[in-house]
Structure formats: structure tokens, C-alpha cells
A and B are shown apart, each in its own frame.
Chain A
Amino acid sequence: MISRIYVIPKIKDSRERLFLKSWSSLGLSGKLSVAKVIDSYIIDYDFSKDQLAKISAILTNQNLEIGSVNEIPIAFDKYKYVIEIGFLPGVTDNVGNTTRETIIDYLHLDKNSDLKVFSSKVFLIGGKLKFEDVKKIALSLHNPLIERSYIENAKVIKREKSLPLQAPEVILEKRVPVIIVSLNVSDDELIKIGREGIEENGVRRGPLALDLASMKTIQSYFNKLGRDPRDIELEALAQTWSEHCKHTIFANPIDEIKDGLYKTYIKGATNLIRKNKGYGDFCVSVFSDNSGGIIFDEDNLITHKVETHNSPSALDPFGGAITGIVGVNRDTIGFGLGAKPVANVFGYCFGNPEDVEFIYKDKERKQKMFPPKRIMEGVIKGVNAGGNCSGIPTVSGFVRFDDRFKGKPLVFVGTLGIIPKKINEKLSHEKCALLGDYIVVLGGRVGADGIHGATFSSVAMDSNSPATAVQIGDPITQKKLSDAIIKEARAMDLYNSITDNGAGGISCSIAEMAKECDGAEVNLEKVPLKYPGLRPWEIWISESQERMTLAVPKKKWEVFKKLMDSRGVEATVVGEFNNSGRCVVKYDGRKIMDIDLEFLHNGLPAKPLKSEKIVHTYPEPKMLIVSRTKILENMLADKNISGFSFISEQYDHEVQAGSVLKPILGRGRINTEAQVFRPILSSKKGVVLSSGICPSYGDISTYHMAACALDTTIRNIIASGGTLSELAILDNTCWCSSYDKNRLYELIQAMEACYDYSVGYGTPLISGKDSMFNDFKGYDEKGNPIAISIPPTLLISGISIIEDIYKVVSPEFKNAGDSIYLLGETHDELGASEYYKLLARKAKNNSIGNNVPKVNLGKNIKVYNVIENLIQKELIASSISLTAGGLIVALAKASIGAQLGAKISIKNLPGEVASTDVALFSESQGRILVSVSKKNVSKFEKIVSEIPHIRLGQTIKETKLIVVGDKDKKIIYANVKKLHNIYHSFSNKMS
């Protein structure tokens, strides 16, 4: 029997006003007047009337709401249409699941009862509206890939009293569970299988992303075995060999670099740095685990990992982002024996949110991509839900905009963790599944969601991109799992190994762990499913979320299972680790996969890559004839410079009570470039975080782009109080068209810079991730083919330790009368700067110049050492790193942050400063702007005498920003309050 319970707000609901506001911006033909939001629960179970009334009562807060069964008890006359938004069958419905649990607990039903609950939201809408308008509203409320919408005339609902009593259940038709795929076919057919997937009843299943060489290798492997592969075997190989999992572009030989980019430049740099550091080496576990781990203090390690979730976020911004953040949390839980997540970080690159021209995946223009604004809103909300729900502070982040991120946004998400060095007398970063250990899957159940995620992110996005690649996050299921493991099972020594189920699902996690003891056998029918009817290959590679795989010794299973049951976490034995050297999968007793681990992991044929040099040159821009005060205002209004407090303040950055340097600071609430937190409350040590990303520089040179990203990260950290000798970095490479020889050349250049500068600064790379195909191929509004590729982008994230958090220095000025100094040299490095980009935009051309900033290691190290010394001696009042926009933007931010004025002169800056524009706007690296109170000036000047520096002027009480040049000529005269409003205008518009 199917019933519906409605929960209707009886107080003034502020959401109504917000919905009306948001819908009115959809360009409707008529005018909206009223709206109402109602929660609906479809309940599929034979409950009595009395029971239903009781259920309705417990789902209702009597102070706020009215509960009702099978009837919406309100006056319908004001309303014209009813829209219901629920999930598509099979899509994880968290609210439905919680409701089910509540009802089972309340009515003492069996845990495995066949009660089903489906949640949805019902919107009643009134006004002068056409059906077309309502369709637009419905579309703005849901994502058709995962949600369903139902529109009905309010009169009908009034007559029927209720929405239809139907349950959105998954009904999978009975299909052949395992099919055999013949590979003794033509090369063309092999290519087709690799590109479009296995054929079944005339339909292709979706990309395996295997090229001909790989297909031929597989063909000959099975020919040697004397049989054809089963579908699950091909799917498993495709997952394990995917670009996403094997990072083939970084692993393969390229030009003369025979060990490949990763081994040569990334691992190579870290190995050398560790050797150079000797006893000062603080790396403990790098590149071998889910996250990188370094020493935090005598007893603890701190871990960090940054992931990308670009392709899923393009298709389902909310779902892509939430599964991104909750997924990277698992890289922390999966570090060693399990680290506790202590901080989240984010980074977004979006298209222009004002861009409303649609693009389509298909020529017929039926598959519309989301416009940048919708992607932005969904992504921000996804990390909001994932991070906030998990109780992990989101302490650090950035956002950038460029039209080239319209086809695929970049969504970086990262998590830091803390773990004791030793647990139960054993080194916590070491783990090993042992012979005979149970293979245990823990957490969420498996559905058809997220199938082909790994192979899908290894190809460009087009109309073949699979809808099932979308996943839904359930942070609470994971929170329960995380707490049960990190806070209880870990100390009880209940498992030998643990890893995350990410890309490729259990096919990758089990095969990966199987390496630890050289073999595994799985009984796939044991894997708990969300609904019946999934076939073995789907179960094996599904990327359903919130799951970890563990190796649990048989004699500890009972205790482990009992603990997990009492914490509401589902744990299931699905097989056993062995030393057979094979990965064997059975389904109902029948062997359906049997592959050598050696072939599975190392069988992928090497594919030497070739690059081809390319040099970019651009016209120099034409100078504008407007006041520089106006230019400064224009720059602060630019989304790449202005504040984004609307994002920072909707992320909980204070949970866990470690907040030291917040993402938004000062009277003027500026966004900080670096953030500090205290991961262990009983210790005064802190962690300093920052990042650097400068895709525009890559338009001129990816070598200098990478160098500047690295220098910016380090500089931001040092400026806030971090320590160069205890600073580690992470690399996230997001590239495009990665088989293009020029793009490969640019990639090599970037990696060379990573090597040169990480070795130069002695900052090891401890973890990284790449995403190599951020290309979109589709059609514009007129049906013309278009291709949009992202600019090659390297994100460097940094982490450093500070001994005493109370020494941290924030960026905003402190008191009027403090002296302002610039440390470091300024040169004519305006190429691809924010200023030149502004000029190019005004001129509507690509005149971004060519003098991209270059990093001078020797000089910068000296500056950074001096800053460290100054901060240790507590001689500076404020400190801000010069980044996008150069000196004038840093000065403006320090002023806005403090709501204080400043009067400075830009005469005689150290370096080669040929013009006022260079002085104000050049983005030369290695520079930091500090303020010093009167009492510290003489001590300060003594210490800075050894590096290039200049006293620019001082802070003043009057809220004016005054810059003078030669002969005391006023160059800038700006009102700080006005700059403040401009700085916040973008954020205000978005909130």
C-alpha cells in the first residue's frame, strides 16, 4: 500500500520569498504572486491508519508544521500550479533513508523490513503564469539526470486532495548476468569496443577508454589463456588501466624522459629534497598512500590530499561537488590505518557567471549543458552540504573565473588529517592485508550510480558521456563510518588494512589491496545492493559513494561487526585475501573473473609520447587614458581579485575549534591568502595553508606559470607565519587535449618548473593528482560545432607547521601611524597580469604582453628567511603577499581589511621599475607588504637591511588611499570605503 505524508509549514516561511526572487529571474512571461514549500514522504508499506497518523506526528514539529496523511489540507485557491521534485528511481534519497530508519525505530519493525520511503518537495505556485513558465521553474529546481519533476494544475490536486500515490521504484529488467565478449574481431571493432563500450542487444554500454594497443594486449592475454574475456573482466581492466587510475600521461616515457614525468620530476624532486634535508626530512609517507603524510609533532603526522572532480561537476554540479569533498575525506580516512579529517580546502575555476549563452552536447540541441552560474551555485552548495555535514572545517579556498572553464569547470577539493605516529605500538602509516583476512566492505550500498566514472573522466565530454557517471553524496553515512573507524575500531586494532573506494569502486580498491598479500577472491553476490537486478560487472565497478574496503582478520570479525552494527554502519564480508597471485571474482559460486594481478596492474602497454615545442607571443597592450584610481577600482571589481565572502561564510570554518587565521578577516572582511588552524587543541602548534594558481601566465609560458604557482603558495604561507624548512606542497595538474604534442610540451615545461623550484626551495611534493582531458566538444545555440578547452592549469597547495599559533600575522593593517614597507624586488613583469588582461579585455583583443613574472630563487629565499625571522621576533603588525594585481591591490586589501587609509610613495622601488604601471601593477614574485608599529621600526630596519626593501609610507586614520610618485605627484587618491564596497560588490550580488 502506498501512502503519502505531507509536512506543511504553518509559520511564515522565509524560503518562499527566496524562491519567488530566484524564479522571477528566470525570464517568465507572467508574474508570480505566491509560493509554498511542502515536504512529502511517499511510504510503501501496509500501515494502519493509526500507524500512519503516528508516523505523521513524529515527522512534524508541532511548533512549526502541520502533518497530514494522503491529503494537503490547505486552501488551494491562491495557487495555480503544483510542482513536485523527487529523485529518479534508484538515486540515493538521504531524507527517505533517514525517515525509513526513524519509522523502523519508532514502530520496532525489523531492520530488514521491506518498508520503502521516498522523499520529495512539493511547490505550490500562484500568479499569472503560463504552463511554459512553470516548466522553466521546474527545470530550475531539479537536475533531470538525477531528479524527476511532476507538474499538475492546482485544481486537479485540490480535487484529488493529494498528489498521485505512486512509488518511484527501480525496476531493472531481467538481463543476462554475464556475457562473453569475443576479441577475435577486426581492429575497427576493437577500437569501437574500446571507445564506446561492450555491445549488448545493439546498444553500447559506455566508454572503456581503451585504445587499440591496450585492446590488442588484452586480446593476446586471453588468447594465451585460450578463452574469451567475460564482460566483467574487460570492464575491470578498463577501470584499472584508465588514465584516471594509472595516470598514463605522467607514467609513460615522453621524448627523452624515459622514466616519464611523474618519476622524473615529481617523485624525483621529492627524493632529492628528502636526501638533501637529511635529518630535517619531515616526509613520512609520500605518493604511496591515499594522502601524503608529514611529521606534525613528536607524536603525530599530518596528511594532505587534493582531488579534482571536474567532469562529474559539469554534469551535476551539486552531486559532483559533494561527492568530491566527501570522497577526498576518504583519502584521509584511508591514509595508513585511518587519519582523522581535520580540515577541508576547496578551489573553483568557473566560466563567467554572467554568460547566458547555452551550449549543447548534441547537434540536435537536446542535451543542454548547465550555464556557468548554475554550475557555480551547485558546486558551492555541494561543498557546503558535504563539508558542513561532516563536521570538518572548510578553512581554505579560492575561486577563479575564465571563459574557458565554461565547458568543464575545475573543482578542487582537499582534506587534511591527523594521525598518531604509532597506534598499538605499530607505525600507523603502514598497513598490509594478510593471508586469510576477510575482505570487508563498509558503509553505503551499491547501486547503478557512478558506473564508468573513472573511464569517463579519462575522455573529453561529449554526447556519449554516460548519465550513470553521476553520484549522490551521503555525508552522514560516511560520518558514521569515519567515526566508527577513526575513533573506535582503529584503537581496538580490528583491521590490518584499509583503503578508499573511489574511482572504479571495489574493482580498484580490492585489486589494489590484493597487491599487499598477492591475491584475492571475491563473492560478488554478497555485496549489499540498493535494489535488486544489478549485474556482476555493474556491482564490481560501481562508484556508489561512502564505502571503504578493509582487511579484517577472521578472529576479529565478530567484534568488528558488532561494533559497526552498534554505530549504524553496514559491514559485509565479500571475500578473502590470499596469495594466489590472482584476482578471482565469483558470482553465485561461478567463477566470472580470473586475472593475474601482475597483468591487471602492470599489463598496460607502455605508450611513448612525443612533444613538440611551441612558443606563444602576444601583442603588447595599448595603455588606457584614464586615472589609475579608476583602474584600481576596475581591478577590485574583477571577480578574480574581489572578495568572495558569500562562499567563505556559508562554509563552517570553525568546527573542531581550531580556527586561528580565518578565511575572512578584519573590519573590512577581506579574504585571506593563507589560513591557519590548530589541529590538536592541547598543542600550540598550528598548520598554515595556502595555494597558488595562475592559469593566465600559462598562456605565455607554462614553465613560469608553474614556478609562480609554487612561489605564490610559499610566499602566502611565509607571510602569515609558516616555516620554509617545514613546508610541503601538493600538485594538481589540470590539462586539456593531452595527446596534442604542443600541450605535452607545455606539460613538460610545467613539470620541469615544479622540479626546479621545489628542489630549489626544499619543499617536497607529497601528493598530487592529475586530470588531463578537460575538453568539451559540442554545439552552440545555432547548432554549430564548438570546442572549449580549459587553459592548462596547475594548482599548488601548500602546508606548513608553525610552532606557536600566537605568532601568526594577519594581512590587514592594524593601527594608524604604522610604517609600510615593501620587501623584495619589482621588475617589469606585467605579461598576463590582471592589469594587462584588463587592458586586453577593454581592447577586445589578446594583447596580454609577454613579460610573464619569473621566480628568482636565490633572492626570494633571502626575503622569506627574513620574514620568518621578523615574525618570530614579533616585529610586524601586518603582512600581505603580493599576488594578482600587484602592489596596489595588496595595499588596497590591507587598507580595506583594516578600514584604515595609507599614504605611500612609489619612488625608488628596489628592482628595475621603468614606469608607474610597473610599480603599481607588476606581478613580480617574491614580494611581501608589511606594516610595522613605531616601537619596532628600528629593530625591523636592522633586520631587513640585508634584503631589498623600501619604506613606502605609513597608515593614516583618514580612510583615503594616497599614492604619490616622482615630485610628489598624486597618482592615486581613493576612498577606502568606496574601494570596500567595490571589493564586496561581486560577493554581495551573489548572496
Chain B
Amino acid sequence: MIKKTNKKIKIKKPKVIILSGYGLNCEEETKFAFERAGGIAEIVHINDIIAKPKMLEEYHIMAFPGGFSYGDDTGSGKAYANKMRNHLKKELDEFLSRDTLAIGICNGFQIMTNLGILPGALFYNKNGRYLDRWVDLKITGKSPWLSGISKISLPIAHGEGRYIIDKTEYKKMTKKNEVAFTYMEGEICKYQNLEKNPNGADYDIAGVLSFNGRVLGMMPHPERAMFFHHSPLWQSKKDKRGKTDDGEGIILFKNAVNYFKK
């Protein structure tokens, strides 16, 4: 892994590339979230990047959105990662070697672990079934993506979200603050009487970091929590809304955009 980073760049509106194709399906709302947060976001089909790999040089943030690339055939994220590695390995390494940010959400996270740019792997949920619900997260890592947050509630929707990591690797990660967040019993779990860890993930891990915190992979979907009405609690918090349309999830996207402004 290349960990060298160049000098910090300052940009008003960072450019975000959101990958698409072969069954990824959260690219549009992910784009919306980045734009709402102040970035310039573009959705690009993987085959268009393969055709012009140099285009990656124009971007500051890369997002692997959620979805069902290749229908999870042969294992979630595997086939898309293979395609990426076969054609874009050099360019991807180059991208990550710059002072850039990257995020993988859900299937995007699965792709990134298969690519080896994030540690660990994701396996079938402990109950063997796809699950859509909300979770509470405790922020445990250090990353530009997570600045200013100590806890957050977001939705998950996956069948293969059980994070697997061996003990030694885990210890190394905790030392480097590379466990981004863990499932905890917070407001939503208490409210709806749900168990904190929805999929049996090792050490309750919901998301991890690499490249000094610049690369984040996570099973929960922050883009599905960008509006106030996304939260399962919004109906009982109507009085507290005021005029805002914002939900908690937007913070991650704002953090990423602000990283380049400062």
C-alpha cells in the first residue's frame, strides 16, 4: 500500500467522482448528498473510466456507492473489484497516493475490501437474511470524514454486512484509530428495542479506515440519512425540526467537502 501523501490542496468546490455500472445503485442519491454538501459530483460508469483512466486525476473525492454490483454473484463486491483491479489498479493507487478522500458505502465498502484498500472482509449476516433497519454508531476512528461527530444514527440495508477481521489485525487497527465506528445501543436501539449489532460483525465494527483516515468504508448509508424525514424518529421530533431539511447523515459529506476548503 502506498501511504505517501502530497502537500495539502485548497479548493472551494472539490470534485467528486461516483462510480456506477453493473448493478451499483445508490449513485444518484450519493451525488445529491455531495452536491448538497457543496461539492461538484459526477457519476461515471466504470467502463468510461477504463476507456479514459487519466480522468481520475481531475477528482478530489472518490465514492464507491451502495448497490448490488454483479448481483453479489460469487460474493458481494468481488466481481466489481476484479474488474477494477484488472483495468485500473495503477490509476487507483495513484489517486489514493494524492491528498484525496475516498468512501465506500455498503456494496462500495465490500468492493473496497475486495480490492484490498481497506482491511478485513464482509460476510453473510448472522441471521442469513437481508436486513433493512437503523443502527446507532459510536465514532471510534480518526478521519476527516468523521470530524466533529461522536455518535450518529444511520440506516443499514444489506445481506452481507458481517465484518470479519482477525485479532492481530484488529489490534493494529485500534492502535492506528482505523476502526471508524462500532455499533452501539443508542437512541434508535432503545426506541425500537433492537439489538445493537445487526449482523454479528466482529468487535461490533460498522466501518473502517485506511490511508491515515482518508479512506472510509462503512456498511451504513449516510446518504439515506441526509434528510430530517429519513430518521424513524422524525414523526416524534416534528416540534424540534424548525425549518431544516437536514438529517444527521449529511455531516459526513459536509466534512469531506470542508476538508478541501480549509
A: residues with CB less than 8 A from B are 7, 9, 11, 13-15, 18, 39, 58-59, 61, 63-65, 94-95, 97-99, 101-102, 105-106, 119, 384, 388-391, 474-476, 479-480, 483, 566-568, 648-657, 659-660, 662, 665-667, 669, 678, 681-682, 684, 805-806, 808-810, 812, 814, 991
Contact = CB atoms under 8 A, between A and B. Distances in A.
Interface centre among A11, A568, A657, A991 (most CB of B within 10 A): A657
A656 B120 contact: no
Interface stretch (B88-96, B126-134, B207-215): B126-134
A702 to B, nearest CB: 37
Contacts of A682: 32
A483 B20 contact: yes
B97 to A, nearest CB: 24
A11 B47 contact: no
A102 B81 CA distance: 10
A214 to B, nearest CB: 41
Given A476-B70, A652-B157, A667 B164 contact: no
Interface centre among A14, A39, A94, A105 (most CB of B within 10 A): A14
A230 to B, nearest CB: 39
Chain B contact surface mostly: mixed
A39 B66 CA distance: 24
B128 A15 contact: yes
Contacts, number: 179
B29 interface: yes
A326 to B, nearest CB: 11
A13 B124 contact: yes
A814 B235 contact: yes
15 contacts: A11-B164, A14-B123, A63-B121, A64-B121, A106-B86, A388-B130, A476-B23, A479-B68, A480-B21, A568-B21, A654-B230, A656-B28, A657-B26, A657-B33, A808-B235
A479 B25 contact: yes
A656 B235 CA distance: 20
Contacts of A390: 25, 68
A859 B228 CA distance: 36
A308 to B, nearest CB: 24
B168 interface: no
- Which 6 interchain pairs have the tightest Cβ spacing? A391-B25, A63-B121, A98-B73, A657-B29, A476-B71, A810-B235
Nearest to B247: A657
B162 interface: yes
Interface string B63-86: 000111011111100110011001
Interface stretch (B7-15, B142-150, B218-226): B218-226
A660 B132 contact: no
B114 interface: yes
Contacts of B70: 98, 101-102, 476
Contacts of A106: 82, 86
B22 interface: yes
A98 B236 contact: no
Given A11-B164, A18-B128, A814-B235, 16 more contacts: A59-B74, A63-B164, A95-B73, A95-B74, A101-B79, A384-B130, A390-B68, A476-B71, A566-B47, A649-B131, A654-B155, A657-B26, A666-B235, A667-B192, A806-B241, A814-B236
A352 B119 CA distance: 47
B1 interface: no
B45 interface: yes
Contact of B200 (A14, A475, A566): A14
A652 B130 contact: yes
A388 B161 CA distance: 15
Chain A contact surface mostly: mixed
Contacts of B228: 806
Contacts of A660: 229
Interface magnitude class on chain B: 35 or more
A655 B83 contact: no
B228 to A, nearest CB: 8
B229 to A, nearest CB: 5
B192 A388 contact: no
B51 interface: yes
Contacts of B48: 566
A62 B220 CA distance: 24
A20 to B, nearest CB: 12
B170 interface: no
Contacts of A479: 23, 25, 68
Interface centre among B23, B26, B127, B224 (most CB of A within 10 A): B23
B133 A649 contact: yes
Nearest to A39: B74
A631 B236 CA distance: 31
Contact of A657 (B71, B72, B230): B230
B42 to A, nearest CB: 13
Given A566-B47, A568-B21, A657-B29, A61 B78 contact: yes
A319 B121 CA distance: 30
B125 interface: yes
A662 B79 CA distance: 32
B171 to A, nearest CB: 16
A655 B25 contact: yes
B68 A388 contact: yes
A567 B45 contact: yes
Nearest to B33: A657
Contacts of B162: 14
Contacts of A105: 82-83, 86
B71 A649 contact: no
A721 B152 CA distance: 29
A14 B126 contact: yes
Contacts of A654: 132, 155, 157, 221, 224, 230
A809 B26 CA distance: 28
Contacts of B45: 566-567
Interface in B99-142: 113-114, 120-121, 123-133
Contacts of B83: 102, 105
A99 B132 contact: no
A385 to B, nearest CB: 8
A667 B191 contact: yes
A284 B157 CA distance: 35
Contacts of A656: 26, 28-29
B21 A98 contact: no
Interface in B158-210: 159, 162, 164, 191-193, 200
Contacts of B159: 388
A568 B47 CA distance: 9
Nearest to A61: B121
A566 B51 contact: yes
Given A102-B74, A567-B45, A814-B236, A659 B21 contact: no
B78 A94 contact: no
Interface centre among A64, A97, A805, A809 (most CB of B within 10 A): A64
A667 B193 contact: yes
A657 B223 contact: yes
Contacts of A9: 123
A185 to B, nearest CB: 49
A812 B124 CA distance: 34
Given A106-B82, A681-B29, A11 B123 contact: yes
B132 A650 contact: yes
Contacts of B67: 391
A480 B23 contact: yes
B227 interface: yes
A653 B132 contact: yes
Given A99-B74, A105-B82, A391 B232 contact: no
Nearest to B229: A660
A657 B126 contact: no
Interface string B25-38: 11011001100000
A388 B192 CA distance: 23
Given A94-B71, A654-B155, A567 B21 contact: yes
Given A59-B78, A102-B83, A657-B230, A391 B68 contact: yes
Contacts of B71: 94, 98, 389, 474-476
